[in-house]
Structure 1
């Protein structure tokens, strides 16, 4: 397993990060335990979760994924020091999480304490803001004029960011979190937090996780260049585009028990004809290379310049083994060239 520095922190994380959002819905406690144990046996030391999980989110299941991880930690207390544990505070919009309110300083402190209790640990290595208070161009809102930037109250947003950073500092001073980061944010969001951190001597954001994959690579080049030069770890989530890049949803297929058979908070916005056409071509490229389509997508993601660690997930050990093995592959120039041609043909298929 290869490792990278987590931004400006002193933490080395595996190039593969074990995602957990299926634990508690599609996966049982026993299966979650098996995935953690298997990942650690393969050299993975980085686990990502969130108070929101499992996904699709619900008030009934809220916090259950963290609880599963906490149960594993409680049963394996000597191994806590061997993992880099990341979690996230949910943003506004869900009535069963702080009445759907925005992220405030008070919310940060309450959520950190609640996550620590569920995780049965004294500290979280990386605590992230799951999405910003303002609307950001994610979840199919990245096309021109899908959201309105000019109507945003910049001063208000900045004041909220400052309050959040001050609360994060309190949590860090108390030893409850080691580092902080972002998720589903933008270049402006990164830089505003950096500016406030420097101006007020507050913690620096060390990482950002955004969706990034063969079907959705809008963060290249501008946001990733910003991350590289500002020493911010870039952590792609959904490198398989919600499972699409495994090929299992081609031609309208909905395998029993798969995520797309469940109600999705943002709908099946990735399910477009253009995505199907692109995936069909990626499947052929993968077959010609003697690997699976999922492995092609994961290896490509890992080798994008500026990527720190790719967040993967699985609902079975067989899937997890296949996905982890992808990071040991070396794609030929011919394969990479073929992939590049598909990206040119379908630069933004959803």
Structure 2
């Protein structure tokens, strides 16, 4: 397993990050325990979760994934220092979380304390903002004019960012969190936080996790270039496009118990005719190089300049091993050429 520095922090993280959003719906406590043990036995030291999880999110299940991880941590106290544990505060828009309100300083303080309690730990290694208060071009809102940036009250947003950083600073000083990061944000968002951190001597954001895959590579090149030069770790989530790049949903297949059989908060927006064509092409390329479609997609994601750690998810130990195996794959030039040709045909299929 390869380890990379988490942005400007002093933390080294495995290039595989174990995602946890299925724990509590598709997976139970025993499944989660087995996944954590299996991942750690293979060198994974990075686990990502969120107060929002499990997914699909509901008020009844809110916080359950953190609780599942907390149960593992409580039963394995000696292993806590071997885990880089990341979680996230949910943004606005969910009525059962702070009545849909924006993230502010008070929300940070209360949510950190609540996550610490559920996770049954004294500290969080990486505390992230799940999505910004302003609407950002994520979750199928990446096409031109899907978001009106000119409608944003810049001064209000920057003032809010400062309040958030000040609260995060209080948590860092109290030893509750070690480092701070972003999720589902933009280049402008990253740079505003950097400016505020420098101006007011507040914690610097060390990472950002955004959706990134063969079907959704909008962060290349501009946001990722910014991450490299500003020493921000780039953490792709959904590198299999919600499982689609495994090929299991081709021809409208819906395997029993799979994610796409569950009601999705934003619908199956990744399921388009062009996505199906692209996935079929990547599956053919994978077969030519004796890889599974998932391994091809993950090995491609791993080798992108600027990627620090890729967040993977699995519902079975077999899937977990298959996905981790992908990070031992070095794609030959011939494979990269074929992938690039397919990518040019389907650069933005959803």
TM more than 0.5:
yes
Is 1:341 the counterpart of 2:321? The answer is: no
Partners of 2:262 and 2:95 lie apart in 1 by 20
Structural mapping, 1:1-350, within 5 Å: 1-350=1-350
| Rounded Cα–Cα distance in structure 2 between residues aligned with 1:202 and 1:137 | 27
Distance across 2 between alignment mates of 1:138 and 1:334: 32
Larger mean CA deviation between 253-262 and 48-57 belongs to 253-262
Give me the whole-angstrom Cα distance separating, in 1, the residues matched to 2:319 and 2:257. 14
What's the secondary structure of 2:150's corresponding residue? coil
* CA distance, structure 1, for counterparts of residue 276 and residue 267 of structure 2: 17
Task: Give a deviation string over 1:55-85, Cα, whole Å, max 9, x none.
Answer: 0000010000000000000000000000000
Cα distance in 2, alignment partners of residues 174 and 331 from structure 1: 45
After superposition, the C-alpha distances for 1:145-180 in whole angstroms (9 at most, x for unaligned) are 101000100000000000000000000000000000
Task: Please give the alpha-carbon distance, in whole angstroms, between the structure 2 residues aligned to 1:288 and 1:183.
Answer: 35
* SS of residue matched to 2:182: strand
Task: Provide the secondary structure at the position in 2 that maps to 1:25.
Answer: coil
The TM-score with structure 2 as length reference comes to 1.00
Distance 1:39 1:213 in 2: 22
C-alpha distance in 2 between matches for 1:207 and 1:148 = 25
Unmatched tracts of structure 2, length 5 or more: none
Aligned partners of 1:342 and 1:105: how far apart in 2? 45
3-state SS of paired residue (2:206): strand
Q: Following TM superposition, by how much is the alpha carbon of 1:6 offset from its aligned partner in structure 2, in angstroms?
A: 0.1
Aligned length: 350
- What whole-Å deviation, never above 9, does each CA across 1:19-53 have from its counterpart, x for those lacking one? 00000000010000000000000000000000000
For residues 299 and 62 of structure 1, the distance between their equivalents in structure 2, rounded to whole angstroms, comes to 33
Where in structure 1 are there 5+ consecutive unaligned residues? none
Q: Tell me by how many angstroms 1:11 deviates.
A: 0.3
Q: TM-score, normalised by structure 1?
A: 1.00
Instruction: Describe the SS at the equivalent of 2:88.
Output: strand
Shift of 1:140: 0.6
CA distance in 2, matches of 1:84, 1:209: 15
SS at 1:178 equivalent: strand
Q: Secondary structure at the match of 2:149?
A: coil
* Secondary structure in structure 2 of the residue aligned to 1:234: strand
Structure 1 distance, partners of 2:113, 2:63, is: 13
Measured after TM superposition, the shift of residue 332 of structure 1 is: 1.1
In 1: Cα distance, 2:113 partner to 2:331 partner: 44
SS in 2 for 1:150: helix
